Structure 1
């Protein structure tokens, strides 16, 4: 088996192993588990920004792992710091010719509906995930067929290099659904995985999860369940935490001082997401590279970071954050990139000396609206007039996938499930989030090169070259700043670590008596 640690971001050990030990001042993730005086029957109450798009991994939205990880195990388990460990598969290896990826499966595992987990179940899941209307088909496009070798062994045959697949199968594409439920429309609100929790109830604005008695790793569950309540406004979420309605929630960097003054415990660290602008290159004036470059040069990223995120959203013109292997150090952000005169000159070269107008969709969270307003003000200085329209999370997911938008403010996960998937989705023809058909010569070939190995050291050069090419050509998704993960918890809560790639493990959380 190839070393699973090779797919770990280089920053992990140094900056992201920040565990939550409320009231203790500790930083070790494992040390946080258990929590002195913890009541393992206590319900953990967590504030969330929106409802799930779908509890079917094949139809889920980018922010749905916060729900899905509770109901489904993946073939490969991704730890909070990015390490890859055995999940439903105990080991994996590429064949010597690199044309197949073989998994050995865990025994004694059942689905929540009582069906057995085995190689036939894996085959059925992978085949189903490759078919419409699954949003995972692109992530699994390298898999040409699946062979059941034995009840505990399965082989994924590859049509193209698949060095990215181990990471991919640690995410939604590797989440196993009971084969009997694969064709059920009910799966959207009634998950059937092998994970630690069952869904006790779901209503608009609240989900209740309770431990599943048949879970194969039951000893890992350290609480009596999770109640998730939607508070779309960040201020409301923090007030709910301060008043005791919640035990924890994500907050913005600008709220850290308020949370600390209220006696809450804060955990923070970088991850692989960024705030940016997604453009439909078939709409408005966005098919013109000079227009996209003008917009990028018109954005004062440092001012946005300082005013909206207390400096904690790192200004960037590329999708990957510093110290991540896909990051291109030659494109480190310089304040001089913000250049209103250059933006105006590019618009004039594009035949738009007077600018133009377009509509920008933005999610319901206050932070997204504030970001949209900041961008609106900056673009207006160079003659680009932007109308802001607020839409709900589920509507935002729908319009982004159907291409029924001109532009959106977006929180983009560039590292999940694998950096190359971001490139495939946003920069290649037919990509899930490339409705305008943005296409740049050479990107496809470099993407293939980046997937010929599972070693980040070998993958870095072609990936970084893609980033440089796209930036030079005017990116269809314009990064603004790299997001820091920030969460606040009340005293007595312990056990959560910063989820680098957006993989949440709530089973480890304990709640003090």
Structure 2
């Protein structure tokens, strides 16, 4: 069934809204490192379709079930194996995935999706409208779901015919396309729903299959020869190696053991000095942050939270630990991104220990207090954790550090609600309202204390209801202001993506959310 054409006025409004809702490009500003300019195109005869590309990352997925995954960055491991209903362009705009086209109906209360035909899951199960219905229902109801809140506005999934579905919404949701481009829109074979090995052996429709997964070691992908778009499957095999130590990753790149490696700012000069290596730097939607469980310790008082913000010397961390591959920030969104509110620059909470002590005294804590601070067990985060610990000690606050394995951090802090605070990286989301909802609303999965404010909830609701780009941008900016003024957390730096590639790697690019775009990645003969 062909999707009906929207009324012209609404069609224009929605088209414009999607440019806002779907992550406009981040325009580099200030001192942030710009992404490397794209290389000249490589002719097809110069590509090696039988090649193996090996990428060294710092951490593996929390699990391979996208509906129960607890880490937003898991999407970078899911993308090769799980197609989503909506995909993203490099600039973050929604483009066809398993849905070839879509249209808003009923004044934004229904999203009609036309589905790609002739697609099968890796186990041979057909992909069709019933598979979409089953996936959305499972994602909303499976025990331990981390995306049920993302899909809560979908009241029913109407199967119109084998290749058309309508998502009937209980309320308008302008971030829905962004949601469907992430974990909530990942399609799992319905025959694998109850497979106890799903966390280790994913079954999607993606361009690669997982041949073997050795947790905390290596993920072995192999080309899906039945993929619906042969032109994007660049190599025969992908190997994602999990190497938590950045020096080990650097050495693996130097010796040719890997072809791509995730690095930090301090290793950029060394990597740039290597022959036949290109370093790609760019601002994405990730940021390093001191999360605060506002239902624990002394964090229910905004003066205490503001004191912690004033106690952190962000510039010293950006320069001394990230070596310039980061910019100080006090908000969830980087400069140059449409959701960034310029009224709250990176020095809004100036480094001012005296002001921090004054705020603590006003809160009745002149003698300080102590709390447990979880820190993701990766080199840079540990260094930042120790730096923050020392900075807080200067204002009489004792942060007792407990290290947590990277892949388990989100499960321990969000789901098990251990620890009073956490230093870790927030993984970028395709739509800013996703970040706001997950971290700052009363039902957000990434808000373990469930603390929020009525104003934040109302601003978020209004932003979801709006399909007007300018109005939605203004509402998101107001929500950012509420987040910063209330000091819901202590953002530290917007950190750059730094990935080095060997010269035979072609088509490298990262999406605005930070993950590698495997659909453009290939190898030169």
TM-score range (shorter-chain normalised) is over 0.9
Identify the residue that residue 107 of structure 1 maps to in structure 2.
Answer: 117
Tell me by how many angstroms 1:332 deviates.
1.6
1:82 to 92, 101, 124: 92
Identify the residue that residue 371 of structure 2 maps to in structure 1.
Answer: 358
Instruction: Return the alpha-carbon distance in structure 2 between the equivalents of residues 435 and 170 of structure 1.
Output: 24
1:322 aligns with 2:335: yes
2:299 to 274, 283, 286: 286
SS in 1 for 2:136: helix
Tell me by how many angstroms 1:374 deviates.
1.3
1:400 aligns with 2:413: yes
Identify the residue that residue 203 of structure 2 maps to in structure 1.
Answer: 192
Instruction: Return the alpha-carbon distance in structure 2 between the equivalents of residues 260 and 35 of structure 1.
Output: 28
Tell me by how many angstroms 1:273 deviates.
1.0
SS in 2 for 1:497: coil
SS in 2 for 1:377: helix
Identify the residue that residue 452 of structure 2 maps to in structure 1.
Answer: 439
Q: Report if the CA contact (8 A) 1:35-1:511 is conserved.
A: no
1:481 aligns with 2:493: yes
Instruction: Return the alpha-carbon distance in structure 2 between the equivalents of residues 491 and 170 of structure 1.
Output: 30
Change (3 A) 1:350 1:266: same
SS in 1 for 2:247: helix
Instruction: Return the alpha-carbon distance in structure 1 between the equivalents of residues 240 and 192 of structure 2.
Output: 24
Q: Report if the CA contact (8 A) 1:65-1:504 is conserved.
A: no
1:234 to 225, 230, 246: 246
Identify the residue that residue 56 of structure 2 maps to in structure 1.
Answer: 47
SS in 1 for 2:240: strand
Change (3 A) 1:183 1:462: same
State the TM-score, normalized to the length of structure 1: 0.94
Tell me by how many angstroms 1:17 deviates.
13
Instruction: Return the alpha-carbon distance in structure 2 between the equivalents of residues 285 and 77 of structure 1.
Output: 42
Change (3 A) 1:266 1:447: same
Structure 2 unaligned runs (5+)?
Answer: 1-10
SS in 2 for 1:276: strand
1:65 aligns with 2:75: yes
Instruction: Return the alpha-carbon distance in structure 2 between the equivalents of residues 67 and 479 of structure 1.
Output: 26
SS in 2 for 1:458: helix
SS in 2 for 1:446: helix
- Of 193-202 and 89-98, deviating more is 89-98
1:168 aligns with 2:179: yes
Tell me by how many angstroms 1:276 deviates.
0.6
Q: Report if the CA contact (8 A) 2:21-2:174 is conserved.
A: no
- Of 199-208 and 415-424, deviating more is 415-424
Q: Could you list the per-position Cα deviations for residues 270-301 of structure 1 after superposition, in whole angstroms to 9, with x for gaps in the alignment? A: 11111011111222222221111100011111
- Of 10-19 and 455-464, deviating more is 10-19
Identify the residue that residue 508 of structure 1 maps to in structure 2.
Answer: 520
Tell me by how many angstroms 1:135 deviates.
0.6
Identify the residue that residue 222 of structure 2 maps to in structure 1.
Answer: 210
1:380 aligns with 2:393: yes
Structure 1 unaligned runs (5+)?
Answer: 21-25
Change (3 A) 1:151 1:13: farther
Instruction: Return the alpha-carbon distance in structure 2 between the equivalents of residues 393 and 312 of structure 1.
Output: 21
Q: Could you list the per-position Cα deviations for residues 323-358 of structure 1 after superposition, in whole angstroms to 9, with x for gaps in the alignment? A: 211111111223772211110001111111121122
1:138 aligns with 2:152: no
Tell me by how many angstroms 1:44 deviates.
0.2
Identify the residue that residue 192 of structure 2 maps to in structure 1.
Answer: 181
Identify the residue that residue 127 of structure 1 maps to in structure 2.
Answer: 137
1:276 aligns with 2:289: yes
Tell me by how many angstroms 1:309 deviates.
1.3
SS in 1 for 2:508: strand
Instruction: Return the alpha-carbon distance in structure 2 between the equivalents of residues 344 and 18 of structure 1.
Output: 38
Identify the residue that residue 23 of structure 1 maps to in structure 2.
Answer: none
Change (3 A) 1:51 1:14: closer
Change (3 A) 1:18 1:454: farther
Identify the residue that residue 224 of structure 1 maps to in structure 2.
Answer: 236
Identify the residue that residue 252 of structure 1 maps to in structure 2.
Answer: 264
Tell me by how many angstroms 1:127 deviates.
0.9
1:412 aligns with 2:426: yes
Q: Report if the CA contact (8 A) 2:66-2:184 is conserved.
A: yes
Q: Could you list the per-position Cα deviations for residues 415-458 of structure 1 after superposition, in whole angstroms to 9, with x for gaps in the alignment? A: 41421122112112121111212121221111111112345433
Instruction: Return the alpha-carbon distance in structure 2 between the equivalents of residues 143 and 161 of structure 1.
Output: 10
Instruction: Return the alpha-carbon distance in structure 2 between the equivalents of residues 35 and 300 of structure 1.
Output: 50
Identify the residue that residue 305 of structure 1 maps to in structure 2.
Answer: 318
Identify the residue that residue 342 of structure 1 maps to in structure 2.
Answer: 355
Q: Could you list the per-position Cα deviations for residues 97-151 of structure 1 after superposition, in whole angstroms to 9, with x for gaps in the alignment? A: 2111110111111111111111111111111111132111011111111100111
Q: Across the two proteins, how many residue pairs are aligned to each other?
A: 504
State the TM-score, normalized to the length of structure 2: 0.92
Instruction: Return the alpha-carbon distance in structure 1 between the equivalents of residues 171 and 64 of structure 2.
Output: 30
Q: Could you list the per-position Cα deviations for residues 384-430 of structure 1 after superposition, in whole angstroms to 9, with x for gaps in the alignment? A: 122222221233121122211111111013x4142112211211212
Instruction: Return the alpha-carbon distance in structure 1 between the equivalents of residues 187 and 468 of structure 2.
Output: 26
SS in 1 for 2:72: coil
Identify the residue that residue 3 of structure 2 maps to in structure 1.
Answer: none
SS in 1 for 2:474: helix
Change (3 A) 1:329 1:17: closer
